[in-house]
Amino acid sequence: MINAIPPAAIFIIGALLVPLFRGRMKSAFLLAVPVLGLINLISIPEGSHWATTFMGLQLTVLKIDRLSLIFGYIFHIISFITLLYALKMRNDVEYAAGMAYAGSALGVIFAGDLFTLFCFWEMMTVSSVLLIWARKTESSLAAGFRYVVVHIIGGVILLFGILMYATEKGSLDLGYIGLDGLASYLIFIGVGINCAWPLLHSWLSDAYPEATIAGAVFLSAFTTKTAVYVLARTFPGADPLIWIGALMAAFPIFYAVIENDLRKVLAYSLINQVGFMVVGIGIGTDLSINGAVAHAFNDILFKALLFMSMGAVMFRTGKINATDLGGLYKSMPLTCAFCIVGAASISAFPLFSGFVSKSMVMSASAKEGFTAVWFILLFASAGVFHHAGIKIPFFAFFSHDSGLRVKEAPFNMLLAMGITAFLCVFIGSFPGYLYGLLPYPVDYVPYTASHVMAQLQLLFFSALAFTLLMLSGIYPAEIRAVNLDADWFYRKGARAFMWFVTNPMTKVSAKVTRIVFDAIPSSLAQASKNPLSVIKIASDTVLLQFAIPEKRDEIKARIKREKEIFPGDIIKHWPIGSVILWAILFLLIYLLIYYAYNIR
C-alpha cells in the first residue's frame, strides 16, 4: 500500500522552503501550504499509516480517527487564517516558525504512539518559542527563555512518564492510559503543563503577550489545544480533571479584570476557556467529551479572532495597554466589528459559536450531578463575558477617546478576521456541521427557548453589572502595573537562587578552595620536610593527654622544643634503627592489606 503523506510533513517541509520564495510568490506559497495540507488530509483514509518498529516497540507515525481528524481540520483552517493575517509581516522567522509549529502540532494530533508524540511535542516547544523571540525586545527574549525552561521541564516529566509506561506495559501505543501508577501521573502532569493548569499556567500569561502580533495568534491555537487533545485521548473521565478545569475556568477571570495589557487579558481568558474543555474531559461522558472537543474547535477560532483584532490594533497604533487605547471605533470600524463578533462568540451569545459548544459541557456537568462545578462554570461564563466580551472591545475601541487616529487594518488582516468572524457566526447559527465532525454521535439541541432565555439573561445582566459599576465609578480604573502570578515563584525564585549561589555558596566555595588547594597542600609540604618529626610531635601530643600531672610539664617542654627546631635534623633524635622499624611496620601493614584483599 502506498503510504499517505503525514500532514505534519507538509508543514515542516513548507517551513524549510519559506526562505526560497520572494514577493508575491511567497504569499502564494504561504497560503498554498495549508490548502494542500487540508486536501491531503481529506484524502487519507482513517486508520494507521507509517507503522514501523523501533527497538522492538511498535511505532505509528500517522493514525487517523474521528477524534484526531476534527483537530486536524481546525489546525489546517487556523494555519491558513493566521498565515493570511501575517502576510504583511515580511518576517521569514515568523512564517517558518509558525509553519513548523503548526506541523508539529499536527504531528502530535496524528501520532499513533507515545514516542512520536513526544518528538513532535518537543518540536512544538522549539518552534513556538521563535514566535516569541521574533518580537526582538528585551522582555520577549526573557519571557521566551522562561517559556522554554518551563516547557523543557514539562517535556522531561512527560518523557520520564512515557519511558516508565513503556517499560511497564511493553507498548508505546497511544490510547487510554487512565490514572494508575506513577508513570501515568508523570504523563498527566507533563501534559498538564502544556494545558496551563492552575499554578502551572503562568508560562502562558507571561509569554503570549510578549509574542509577535501574528505569533500570538499561532500560539493561542496550538499548545493548549494539543494538550486538550492528548488528555481527551489518554485520560477521559479522570476525576481530578473536573476540579482542575473548574479552577482554570474561574481564577483567571479575576486577573483579567485588573490586567491592563489587553493581550494578557486574552491570555487569561484562554486559560479560562481551556478550563471548560478540561472539565468536559474529566466528566468523560460522550456528551462532555463532544462538548470539550467542540469547544476547542470554536475556541481556536474566536480566540484567534480576538488576538487578531488586538494584533491589528497593535500593528496600527503600536500600543496594547488599555490605558493607552480607546475611541478606535472611529478609525478602525471593521476591526472593531470583528472584535465584537469574537467577543460575542467567546461569551456564548446565541447565534455565535461559543453558545453551541460551551453549553454542552455545562449540560453534561448538570446531568452528572456536579452541582458545585456547574455553579463555578456558570460564574466563569458570566465572568468571561465581563472581561473578554466587554472589557476587550470597550477599552480598545470605545471608552475615553485616546486621540489616536490611525488607518484601518491592512486588507489581508481584515480578510483573515472576516473569514474567522464568518466561521464563528456560521457555526453558531448552523451547529449541525460542527456536530457532524465530533467524535461521538450528538444528541444535543442547543437552541431551546429556555436555554436561549437563560443565556441572554445571564449575559445582559452581566453587562448590566458592568454598566452600573462603570457609571458609579466603582469599576477598577486601568492601572499600569504588574500583577503577580505563579511565575513569581520562578522569576523571584530564580533571583533568590542566584543570590544564594553568589553569596553563601561562593563563600563556602572560596573556603573549600582555600582548604583543598592551599591549606592542606602547604601543611603537607611542610610536614614532608620531616615526616618523622611530625609523627613524634603528634605522638607526644597524644601522650600529653594521657600523661600523669607530674610528667605534663616535661612533655609540654619537649613538644615546644620539637616545634621550634622543626624541620631540624632527623638523625639527632631518630637513630637509623627506629627508621628501619617504621619501614618494617609500614611493610607489615601493606602485607596485611594485601592479604585481606586476596583472601576473599
Partner 1 sequence: MKEEKTHFFDKPENVKNFIRGFFIICILLLIADFSVPKHGDFYWEDIPQFYAAYGLVACIVLVLVSKYVLRRLVKRREDYYD
Binding-site ranges for partner 1 (CB under 8 A): 253-255, 257-258, 329-330, 363, 366-367, 371, 374, 378-379, 382-383, 386, 398, 401, 405, 448-450, 453-469, 471, 474-476, 479-485, 491
Shorter beta-carbon distance to partner 1: residue 383 or 431: 383
**The residue to which cell 476557556 is assigned:** 273
Shorter beta-carbon distance to partner 1: residue 139 or 528: 139
* Residue 306 CB, nearest approach to partner 1 (Å): 19
- Give the three cell numbers for residue 138: 528585551
* Residue 106 CB, nearest approach to partner 1 (Å): 35
- Residue 224 in contact with residue 154, Cβ under 8 Å? no
Shorter beta-carbon distance to partner 1: residue 113 or 259: 259
- Give the three cell numbers for residue 244: 482542575
* Residue 190 CB, nearest approach to partner 1 (Å): 27
8-state DSSP, 436? T
Shorter beta-carbon distance to partner 1: residue 101 or 329: 329
Alpha helices in 259-391 (DSSP H): 262-283, 286-317, 333-346, 353-367, 371-384
112: left (phi over 0), alpha (psi -120 to 50) or beta: alpha
- Residue 558 in contact with residue 541, Cβ under 8 Å? no
Shorter beta-carbon distance to partner 1: residue 49 or 135: 135
The per-residue DSSP string of 12-68 comes to HHHHHHGGG--HHHHHHHHHHHHHHHHHHHHHSPSEEEEEEEETTEEEEEEEE-HHH
Shorter beta-carbon distance to partner 1: residue 243 or 398: 398
Shorter beta-carbon distance to partner 1: residue 90 or 330: 330
* Residue 472 CB, nearest approach to partner 1 (Å): 11
8-state DSSP, 87? G
* Residue 494 CB, nearest approach to partner 1 (Å): 11
User: Before 236, cis peptide (omega within 30)?
Assistant: no
Distance separating alpha carbons of residues 320 and 313, to the nearest angstrom: 7
* Residue 428 CB, nearest approach to partner 1 (Å): 19
Shorter beta-carbon distance to partner 1: residue 42 or 456: 456
The per-residue DSSP string of 164-230 comes to HHHHHHS--B-S---S-SHHHHHHHHHHHHHTT-TTS-HHHHHHGGGS-HHHHHHHHHHHHHHHHHH
**Phi, psi (5° rounding) for residue 6?**
-65, 135
Burial classification of residue 283, based on how many CB atoms lie within 10 Å of its CB (0-12 exposed, 13-18 middle, 19 or more buried): buried
SS3 52: strand
* Residue 247 CB, nearest approach to partner 1 (Å): 15
Residue-level length of the chain:
600
* Residue 484 CB, nearest approach to partner 1 (Å): 4
Shorter beta-carbon distance to partner 1: residue 330 or 529: 330
* Residue 474 CB, nearest approach to partner 1 (Å): 7
Beta bridge partners of residue 63, listed in sequence order: 48
Helical (H) or strand (E) element with 571: helix 570-573
* Residue 151 CB, nearest approach to partner 1 (Å): 20
Shorter beta-carbon distance to partner 1: residue 236 or 326: 326
